[in-house]
Amino acid sequence: MRNLKVIMAFKGTDYHGFQRQSGIKTVQQTVEEAVGSVLNEKVTIFGCSRTDKGVHANEYCFNLKTENQIRHRNFLRGINDRLPDDISLISCEDVPLDFHARYDTKAKEYIYLIHNSESKNPFTRDLALHYRRPMDIELMKKGAEHFLGTHDFLSFCSKNGEKENTVRTIYKFDIEKNDTAVKMTICGDGFLYNMIRIMVGTLLWINEGRLTPDDIPSIIEAKDRGSSGRTALAHGLYLNKVFY
């Protein structure tokens, strides 16, 4: 038995997220069908994270177990030939049998992209949020600083039906602007449902004067989703890197 660790990239526009769902097009189902046709066996891939509809990935990790002794290069070539153009396998390696792409994750890095201009950009459609208002990057950075460290992020979670632990640690929250392109880079030990999109939406509210940077600590303390900002649209979000 082999355990293969695979890195892929995908454009999430046409998928209802990663996780397999009955009767709905997902990344997991699409990849499993391609892998199964190459290995000539039914396979289940275990992803590093769930993603929402429209969210993209520059570096997404999954693992799968197989008895097939196919070479890594042939695995990548054969499956990429069967995948649609919006999904691509990047690398493949053998790892210990107890490796799990989700449960062995130490940290994840996401980026959120914004096209900041009065005019839309046809080349970033479905790939970056179009935001027309002028952006005060330094003001937003002051707000983002309050996210750093270990906090209970219940105020930045869309739902918590299973009463999961909502404490997370944010290691980095950088914001940079180059002409009309704005990139937010967020790294943490884990993220709640819609957490990054709500943090981004809250920073946009700060930019619009609906909140101030100094409001963030009290929003965190409130542990109430109603106290934070809007949920930014999914298509600006990318899983950028996974750390093990």
pLDDT in tens, 10-68: 999 999 999 989 889 999 999 999 999 999 999 999 999 999 999 999 999 999 999 99
Give dist(CA 43, CA 32) in Å, integer: 6
Based on the fold, state whether residues 12 and 70 are members of the same structural domain: yes
Based on the fold, state whether residues 69 and 120 are members of the same structural domain: no
Domain count, the chain: 2
Considering the domain boundaries, does residue 102 fall inside one?
no
Per DSSP, the chain holds a count of helices (H) and strands (E) of: 5, 10
The type of residue at 193 is Y
- Among 95, 119, 146, residue at a domain's last position: 95
Give dist(CA 154, CA 235) in Å, integer: 23
Based on the fold, state whether residues 10 and 75 are members of the same structural domain: yes
Based on the fold, state whether residues 112 and 209 are members of the same structural domain: yes
Confidence (pLDDT) at 94: 98
Based on the fold, state whether residues 189 and 227 are members of the same structural domain: yes
Considering the domain boundaries, does residue 100 fall inside one?
no
**Mean pLDDT for the stretch of residues 134-156:** 97
Based on the fold, state whether residues 119 and 231 are members of the same structural domain: yes
Q: Is the pLDDT of residue 240 over 70?
A: yes
Considering the domain boundaries, does residue 231 fall inside one?
yes
Active site (catalytic) residues? 52
Considering the domain boundaries, does residue 163 fall inside one?
yes
CATH of the domain at 227: 3.30.70.660
Average pLDDT, the chain: 96
Angle at 208 between CA 203 and CA 210, to 5 degrees: 85
Confidence (pLDDT) at 162: 53
Based on the fold, state whether residues 12 and 61 are members of the same structural domain: yes
Based on the fold, state whether residues 111 and 90 are members of the same structural domain: no
Based on the fold, state whether residues 117 and 58 are members of the same structural domain: no
Range of the domain at 195: 107-243
DSSP category for residue 154? G
Q: Is the pLDDT of residue 163 over 90?
A: no
173-218 pLDDT, tens digit per residue, is 999 999 999 999 999 999 999 999 999 999 999 999 999 999 999 9
The pTM for the full model equals 0.94
Based on the fold, state whether residues 169 and 116 are members of the same structural domain: yes
Based on the fold, state whether residues 153 and 218 are members of the same structural domain: yes
Give dist(CA 69, CA 232) in Å, integer: 44
Considering the domain boundaries, does residue 22 fall inside one?
yes
Based on the fold, state whether residues 138 and 237 are members of the same structural domain: yes
Confidence (pLDDT) at 164: 79
Q: What percent of the chain has pLDDT over 90?
A: 95
Confidence (pLDDT) at 160: 58
